[in-house]
């Protein structure tokens, strides 16, 4: 949740997190393990309560997982930023 940020800014930040985690060197701890990250993003518009933003982020997380995982979903109904 990014209650004070524009949706595009929040999504870009989350995409950077997704890529960084995916590119992290895990050779010494789990060389054969592939780690992926799915993120649902909700940004505040000044009209939604925190609980509503949490529900929106959660529903977008489900969309990210249903869409193949390892992605960021930040829009309606499914706008994803995916580098792969």
Report pLDDT digits (tens) over 47-57.
778 888 889 89
User: Biggest alpha carbon distance in the chain?
Assistant: 47
Residue 73 is assigned to a structural domain of this protein: yes
* pLDDT-derived band at 83, boundaries 50, 70, 90: very low
What range does the domain containing 58 cover? 7-25+36-81
Report if pTM > 0.75: yes
CA distance 8 to 10: 5
Q: What is the pLDDT of residues 3-48, one digit of tens each?
A: 778 889 999 999 999 999 989 888 888 888 888 899 999 887 777 7
Q: What is the pLDDT of residue 76?
A: 61
| Domain assignment present for 2 | no
Q: Give a yes or no: residue 1 inside a domain.
A: no
* CA quadruple 58, 38, 45, 79: dihedral sign: negative
Residue 47 lies in a domain: yes
Q: Assess if residue 30 is contained within a domain.
A: no
C-alpha to C-alpha distance for 10 and 2, rounded to whole angstroms: 6
Q: If we measure between CA atoms, which residue out of 84, 83, 6, 69 comes closest to residue 41?
A: 6
Residue 69 domain flag: yes
Identify the pLDDT of residue 81: 38
Domains: count for the chain? 1
């Amino acid at each position: 949740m990014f209650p004070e940020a524009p949706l595009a800014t929040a999504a870009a930040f989350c995409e950077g997190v997704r890529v960084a985690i995916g590119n992290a060197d895990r050779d010494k701890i789990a060389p054969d393990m592939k780690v992926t990250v799915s993120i649902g993003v909700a940004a505040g518009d000044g009209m939604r309560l925190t609980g509503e933003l949490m529900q929106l982020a959660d529903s977008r997380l489900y969309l990210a997982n249903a869409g193949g995982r390892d992605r960021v979903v930040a829009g309606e109904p499914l706008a994803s930023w995916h580098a792969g």
